[in-house]
Amino acid sequence: MQVRDPELLVKYMENADFSQARLARYVGCSRQFIHLLVTGERTTCTKQIGALIEEALRVLPGTLFVPRLSPTTTRNASRKKTAAA
């Protein structure tokens, strides 16, 4: 899963009164991993972690994370646009 916007993740964490450490405990990952997500140094996570973060922050699925397209999918989409032009 890919983070839609790290700043949005931070805002939802603040609104729900979740520190990085608290969110990490809820999700079952390290505080450092959450730190990387909120700073944008890391933009992806597993589907399970994304779902648990959204659950913890009580947001609808898909609010903070979207499925990540594989590089192959992106490349093929670009080729189709070029071929159609």
pLDDT of 83 over the 70 cut: no
Q: What is the chain's mean pLDDT, rounded?
A: 89
Residue 28 identity (one-letter amino acid): G
pLDDT in tens, 31-71: 999 999 999 999 999 999 999 999 999 999 999 999 987 66
Alpha-carbon distances, residue 72 vs 4, 46, 58 (angstroms): 20, 19, 33
Alpha-carbon distances, residue 15 vs 8, 47, 65, 82 (angstroms): 11, 23, 18, 44
The pLDDT confidence band at residue 27, using thresholds 50, 70 and 90, is very high
CATH architecture of 2-84: Orthogonal Bundle (1.10)
Q: So where are the chain's domains?
A: 2-84
